[in-house]
Amino acid sequence: MERKRKYVIKGRKPLKGEIEVSGAKNASLPAICATLLSPGVYKLKRVPKVKDVFCMLKIMEHLGAVCEFEKDYLKIDTSKIKELSVPYELASQIRASILFLGALVGAYKSAEVPLPGGCAIGKRPVDFHIKGLSQLGAEINLEKGNLIVKTQKLKGTTIVLDFPSVTATENLMMAGVLAEGETIIKNSAKEPEVVFLGEMLKKMGAEIKGLGDDTIYIKGKKKLKPVNIEIIPDRIEAGTYLVLGALMEENEIVVKNINKEHLKTPILKLEEMGITLERVDKNAFKVKRGKTINPVKIITAPYPGFPTDLQPFFAVLLTQAEGISFITENIFENRFLYVFELKRMGADIEVKDRTAIINGPTSLIGSPIKATDLRAGAALVLAGLCAENTTDVYNVELIERGYENFVEKLSGVGAEIKVEEDED
Ligand code: EPZ
């Protein structure tokens, strides 16, 4: 069992320099599963080397794929898939393992995937995934915690999602591209990572219309072909570093490899706060802020609304704003656990129902805190970087699930952050 580690951060160091955003974790995970849809060799560029990716690749290897990072791409060979069931000990580490369901049922008309558990931010059921696959003709049974899916063939039909779920849309697209006839997914998710998967499937020969819209039309094909692709930049990681640049007046951060199109709403919100981006190169932007930050109201929503994954970072930033701000979390029922850690650092923040009320500015004081989930953990590191004295952040393995070279990237702009064994 890997020994637990913590980050030890010395706060209030003015940060200056460039940070390069990696490829998107949440585009890489479905793309890895999509390589099961046509046996062959795929080369995926800019896949981030993070724990969630390594876990999905271990599952791929269990199924019979050969996966290795070579030069600047990840090579996946799915010519010899010999297994159609995902092992519990690997799947239980990552909720995105549910994406193997759509890919395996789509390609092999059979799959066995453990029912994912909930996590810190909410129950996160998969009923939309199950309902959609059953509507396509799959027979789904739950046996000893595993979803057993079998079908003679998948037949296209119209599926209406109760909510524009990101991975449910991705699963149903992967099942639909090899189904017979047309599959229509109404109330589909529009996130850039969903569009990216759709574009990859089209490059593989799938016929898909409506990507980025609220209805996706798929005309099933008999077979697809392997492709090489480059993963889009990680908009949530980009947002993380934009907030870093605004955290302290003395910071001078340039964030590189940003796709501004994917960050419209968060950038508008930053501008409302008095924080702007100055283009210094094609996809590189310098974060500019005034002496004070304006308080704002944030409401999370499906894309293109304000992304739930960025709300913890904006909460940290809003502890430095002049006045009262509100963040309403509409996607997950339990995504304010980090608030209690921020309060330990002196933040004036209360949660009422689904809204965090933040009174600023307050100077944060370094304290021992713990990451409660991936994004909250990264946000608490940012809090430590703008806090007086020293902050120890525990449970950092949660952060390393989705942030490639996080400590190196922060140290690269002058942060004083060390990784230490967690004594206990
Ligand atoms: C994806 O999760 C992302 N993960 C999450 O990022 C992100 O927070 C989320 O989308 C929202 O944008 C990946 O892409 C791997 P949903 P997903 O299905 O697909 C409910 C990160 O930090 N729901 O869009 O699981 C669900 O409970 C992670 O990288 C059902 O009720 O999110 C939630 O309240 C965190 N039944 C809402 O819908 C279902 O069958 C949105 O969930 C499916 C979802």
Taking only the tens place, the pLDDT of each residue in 194-228 is: 999 999 999 999 999 999 999 999 999 999 999 99
Give me the long-range contacts of 367-370 (CB less than 8 A, separation at least 24).
367/391, 367/392, 368/392, 368/394, 369/341, 369/344, 369/345, 369/393, 369/394, 370/341, 370/394, 370/395
The pair of structure tokens assigned to 322 is 């002049």
Question: Distance between terminal CA atoms of the chain?
Answer: 14
The pair of structure tokens assigned to 86 is 């995902």
Q: Is the CB of 402 under 6 A from ligand 1?
A: yes
Known binding residues are 25-26, 95, 309, 331
Q: Phi and psi for 341 in degrees, rounded to 5?
A: -70, -40
Between CA 289 and CA 298, with CA 295 as vertex, the angle to 5 degrees is: 105
Give the mutation target among 128, 162, 165, 235 for probing the ligand 1 site: most ligand atoms within 8 A of CB: 165
Q: Sort 232 into a burial class: Cβ within 10 Å, 0-12 / 13-18 / 19+.
A: buried
Same CATH fold assignment for domains 5-21+233-421 and 25-230 = yes
CB 310 within 8 A of CB 235: no
CB 202 within 8 A of CB 174: no
| Mean per-residue pLDDT pooled into runs of 10, the chain (424 residues) | 86 97 98 98 98 98 98 96 96 95 97 88 91 97 94 97 98 98 98 98 98 98 98 98 97 97 98 98 95 97 98 98 98 95 97 98 97 96 98 96 98 97 74
Three-state DSSP state, 154: coil
Give dist(CA 120, CA 371) in Å, integer. Answer: 10
- Residues contacting residue 270 through CB under 8 Å, at least 6 positions apart: 242, 246, 276, 277
Between CA 10 and CA 100, with CA 238 as vertex, the angle to 5 degrees is: 110
What is residue 102's predicted lDDT score, i.e. its pLDDT? 97
Q: Is the CB of 271 under 6 A from ligand 1?
A: no
Which one of 3.65.10.10, 3.40.50.1100, 3.40.50.720, 3.40.50.300 gives the CATH number of domain 25-230? 3.65.10.10
Distance 274 CA to ligand 1 centre (A): 30
CB 269 within 8 A of CB 277: no
* Tokens 């791929």, located at residue: 60
Pairing of strands 228-230, 215-219: unpaired
Q: What's domain 5-21+233-421's architecture?
A: Alpha-beta prism (3.65)
Give dist(CA 270, CA 69) in Å, integer. Answer: 36
CB count within 10 Å of CB 262 equals 25
What is residue 1's predicted lDDT score, i.e. its pLDDT? 61
What is residue 6's predicted lDDT score, i.e. its pLDDT? 96
Distance 166 CA to ligand 1 centre (A): 6
What is residue 4's predicted lDDT score, i.e. its pLDDT? 84
What is residue 121's predicted lDDT score, i.e. its pLDDT? 86
Give the mutation target among 331, 337, 398, 399 for probing the ligand 1 site: most ligand atoms within 8 A of CB: 331
Domain boundary assignment for the chain: 5-21+233-421, 25-230
What is residue 3's predicted lDDT score, i.e. its pLDDT? 73
Active site residues: 119
In what helix (H) or strand (E) does residue 103 lie, and over which residues does it extend?
helix 99-108
The pair of structure tokens assigned to 7 is 């980050």
What is residue 424's predicted lDDT score, i.e. its pLDDT? 60
Q: Is the CB of 342 under 6 A from ligand 1?
A: no
What is residue 21's predicted lDDT score, i.e. its pLDDT? 98
Supply the pTM of this predicted model: 0.97
Overall residue count recorded for the chain in this entry:
424
Three-state DSSP state, 376: helix
The pair of structure tokens assigned to 58 is 């271990």
